Amino acid sequence: MAGPRTVDTPERVRDSARTRAEILDVATAEFAANGYDGSRVDEIAALTRTTKRMIYYHFGGKKQLYIAVLERAYARIRAAERQVELDDLDPVAAVRRIAEVTFDHHGAHPEFIRLVSIENIHHAEHVKELVEMVDLGGPIVALLEDILRRGRQEGLFRSDADAIDVHMMISAFCVFRVANRHTFGTIFGRDLVDPARTDHYRAMCGDMIVRYLAA
Amino acid sequence: MAGPRTVDTPERVRDSARTRAEILDVATAEFAANGYDGSRVDEIAALTRTTKRMIYYHFGGKKQLYIAVLERAYARIRAAERQVELDDLDPVAAVRRIAEVTFDHHGAHPEFIRLVSIENIHHAEHVKELVEMVDLGGPIVALLEDILRRGRQEGLFRSDADAIDVHMMISAFCVFRVANRHTFGTIFGRDLVDPARTDHYRAMCGDMIVRYLAA
DNA sequence: CTAGTTATACGAACTGGTACGTTAGTTAGC
DNA sequence: GCTAACTAACGTACCAGTTCGTATAACTAG
C-alpha cells in the first residue's frame, strides 16, 4: 500500500497493481452477486475509483475479467488446502480434518461457491481455460490419496473408495449447504448457514465421510 | 412471400392450453440452458410456433414466465416423491429407497437441477413467491419423519438426526453430482454422470445415508 | 541535473447493437 | 358481431466495447 517511490500525493496516484486489485475485488463481488450475464461492466467500473476504460485496458474485456476473478478465487482455496497440517493425525482424524477445512473454507467464502455455481451454468467454459494454466485438483487429490492409502494399510477404510470420490462427497455436502441455502431455507424453513447450527453441520459432515469410509 | 392460409395447414388451430404448454417447454429448456439473464424472450419466442407477443399475452412477462417454469419443474419432483412405495420396507431399506429415488430423479432431470442452481443465484426470490402458493417441502419431510420414527423405535437409527437434515444430506449428494459436474469433471477429469458410473454413485449415495444414520 | 522523449496509466463521451416490452391491427370461433 | 387468440413491427433503454485525447512516471542524452 505504501508508495514505492515518492511520498507525495497520498491518493490518486498511478498504480496499476492497485487498480487491477481494486477492479478484481469489485468484480468478484459483482459476478458472485449477479452472475456473469447479470453483471454490468459499467456497474463494476462505477464501484471502483477508476473507469470502465481501465477494465478494458487492464483485462481486455468482460470475459477475461471474469476468468481473472475465477483464477484468484481458486488460488485462495488451494492456499487453504496447502496449509492443512495433518502429518501427526491418524487416517480417520485426517479425513475428518480435511472435511472440516473444506467445510470452513466454503462457509467463509460463499462468493467462491457462487462463482462455482455460475461457472457450472456456463458448462465450466472459463474453468476449462484455467485448467490449461494451473492444476486445480492435484493437491487435494494427492493429500487424500496418501491418507486413504495409510487407512487401507491399517485396515481402517473400505477398499472401494478412491480419493476423487471422497473429495466429491465432502464437496457435495459443503457446497450444497452454501450454494443451495436460499431455496432450501425457503422450502424447508431451515437456514443451513445459521451460526447456531454451524457446529452441528461441521460434525455431520465429518461423521458422514468417516462412517462412509469405515471398513 | 408466404401464401395465405389457403393450403391445408393441419394444425395451426387456436388452442391457448397448447400454446402455453409449448411456450413453457421451450422456456424451461432456455432458462435451464442459459440462466435467467442469459435467456432471451425473443429467442424463446422464435423456438415456439407462436410469437413473442403471446408470451406477454399468456404469462405477463419474462419473470412470470420463469416462475411458471419453476412451478412446473417443482410439481414434477413432488409427483415423483408421491409415487414412492415403501410401506413394506424396513426403515433402513426405506431411507435407501428414498435416496435412490432422489438420485434417479435428479439424474433424469438435469434441467430441474440447473433451474434450482439459477434460482439460488437469485437468492430464491422466485421460489419465495412459489412457496406462498404451494408447500414444496412438506411431502418429503413427512415421509422421512415417519421412517426415522420407525427406525429410532427399532433402535436402528441414531437419535440426533432429523428428517430435514437427512433430506439435506441426500440432496447434497444428488444435486452436486448433476449441478457441479462441469467444474468437477474439468478439474478432476472424472465425469460424475457417466452412465458407466451411475450404479456406483447410486450405491455410494445409499451407503452414505444408511451408514450416517446407523445407531 | 534537467530537458526532451517515450511508455504506461487514465478518463469522458460515444457507438452499434441488443433486448424487454408495447402499439396497433388481424383472424378464428362461438 | 363479439371476444379470445394471435401477429408484425416498433420504441426505448441499456450495455459491451471503442475512440480519442490527456496526464504522469520512467528513461535518456547532454
Predicted local confidence at residue B11, as pLDDT: 46
- What integer pLDDT is reported at residue A78 of this predicted model? 87
CB contact under 8 A, B186 and A37: no
Report residue B49's pLDDT band, with 50, 70 and 90 as the boundaries. Answer: confident
pLDDT per position as a tens digit, A6-19: 333 334 466 777 88
Give the mean model confidence (pLDDT) for residues A184-205: 96
pLDDT band at B211 (very low <50, low <70, confident <90, very high): very high
Tens-place pLDDT, residues A23-35? 888 899 999 999 9
Report the percentage of chain B scoring pLDDT > 90: 59
pLDDT at B51: 84
B54 CB neighbours strand D below 7 A: yes
Convert the pLDDT of each residue in A113-142 to its tens digit: 999 999 999 999 999 988 888 888 888 999
Closest by Cβ to A212, choosing from B141, B180, B207:
B207
Q: Which nucleotide is nearest to B54 (CA to C1')?
A: D6
Give the residue-averaged pLDDT of A70-85.
Answer: 87
Interface contacts (A, B; CB < 8 Å): 145
Nearest to A208 among B116, B169, B181 (CB): B169
Confirm if A86 and A76 have CB atoms less than 8 A apart.
no
Query: Which nucleotide minimizes the distance between its C1' and the CA of A53?
Result: C11
CB pair distance less than 8 Å for A120 and B117:
yes
Share of chain A above pLDDT 90, in %: 61
Residue B65 distance to chain A (closest CA, Å):
18
- Work out the pLDDT band at B12, boundaries 50, 70, 90: low
Inter-residue contact B163 to B181 (CB < 8 Å): no
User: Per the CB < 8 Å rule, is B186 touching A131?
Assistant: yes
In this predicted model, what pLDDT tens digit does every residue of B150-185 receive, in sequence order? Answer: 999 999 999 999 999 999 999 999 999 999 999 999
Q: Residue A185: pLDDT above 50?
A: yes
For residue B157, report the phi and psi dihedrals to the nearest 5 degrees.
Answer: -110, 150
Q: Determine contact, residues A200/A148, Cβ cutoff 8 Å.
A: no
- How far is residue B99's CA from residue B202's CA, in Å, rounded to a whole number? 8
Which domains occur in chain A, in start order? Answer: 1-60 (1.10.10.60), 73-213 (1.10.357.10)
**Alpha-carbon distances of A2 from A5, A23, A24, B26, B167, rounded to whole Å:** 9, 19, 20, 56, 52
Handedness of CA A179, A183, A188, A194 (dihedral sign): positive
Shortest CA to C1' contact from B15: nucleotide: D5
